[in-house]
Amino acid sequence: VNFALRIGFYYALCIVCSGLTAPVCLLVNGGRTVKNMRIIKTVVKSFKYFFGLRFEVKGLENFEVEGPAIIVSNHQSILDMMGLMEVLPDGCVQVGKKELMYAGTVGLITYLGGVIFINRKSTTSAKMVMAEVAKTMIADNVKVWVYPEGTRNCTGDLLPFKKGAFHLAVQAQVPVIPVVYSSFTTFYNPKKNLFTSGKIKVEVLPRIETKGLTPDDVSDLTDRCYNIMRETLFRLSGRPAEGKGSS
């Protein structure tokens, strides 16, 4: 019951705050633009206090790259939206599933914030959108945040990465910046109706350059990023690295 109440309150907060923030975005910036993310971020950063969540962030200086970049991070839950806004650099849009656009006021605010919507059921259309993004991120000097697992996953491990983000980085010849959030499993588990207060460690890792890489290098780049992020996830979550120390 407690779980349902807290999650219900989270949804309500998202819906109501989106409804109140949307007119502000429209008045200040006039329409769909990444500039609205600043306003959205300010609102969302207050949410953590309602749920007793604390963020411990390291490596923010790694976001300080000139020009565009692809940011990739692990995706555990709808609560990630709070972790996202906690560290989101200016001029950064996210890639999201198109279903989000139809989520009432939340859809409206994601639209106004400039979220790039992809149809996950159609690889061709998703790739076309991503190819377009590769061009516009250079022209508009924006960073793009992608969840390369492609879906939420709250197991304490990473799902295999999809390659879209890395194709995008190579096509645009921009660096990849990995961001890792420690596992939520100790305080959040929908299967066990668990949602208490808790601490989330966040680490922004040093950028991985892609200058000179070609489409043939995308698989290697993906693996490299996956391995670094998985190691970091286990370290931040206090879980022993696999294959080491097991008898």
Ligand X SMILES: CCCCCC/C=C\CCCCCCCCCC(=O)SCCNC(=O)CCNC(=O)[C@H](O)C(C)(C)COP(=O)(O)OP(=O)(O)OC[C@H]1O[C@@H](n2cnc3c(N)ncnc32)[C@H](O)[C@@H]1OP(=O)(O)O
29 phi, psi to nearest 5 deg: -115, -5
Exposed, middle or buried, 230 (CB in 10 Å: 0-12/13-18/19+)?
middle
Residue with tokens 């305080």: 187
Exposed/middle/buried for residue 192 (C-beta within 10 Å: 0-12, 13-18, 19+): exposed
**Residue 170 makes contact with ligand X by CB under 6 A:** no
With CB atoms as reference, the residue minimizing the distance to ligand UBL is: 104
Compute how many residues bind ligand UBL; rule: CB under 6 A. 14
Kindly tell me which of 43 and 239 has the beta carbon lying closer to ligand X: 43
What is the C-alpha separation between 91 and 116, in angstroms, rounded? 13
Q: How far is the CB of 104 from ligand X (least distance, A)?
A: 10
95 binds, among ligand X, ligand UBL, none (CB under 5 to 8 A by kind): ligand X
Q: Which of 222, 216, 121 is nearest to 164 (CA)?
A: 222
Residues of this chain that bind ligand UBL (CB under 6 A):
11, 14-15, 78, 80-81, 96-97, 100, 103-104, 106, 151-152
Residues of this chain that bind ligand X (CB under 6 A):
14, 17-18, 21, 40, 43-44, 75, 81, 94-97, 106, 109-110, 113, 115, 118, 120, 123, 126-127, 130-131, 146-148, 150-151, 162-165, 167-168
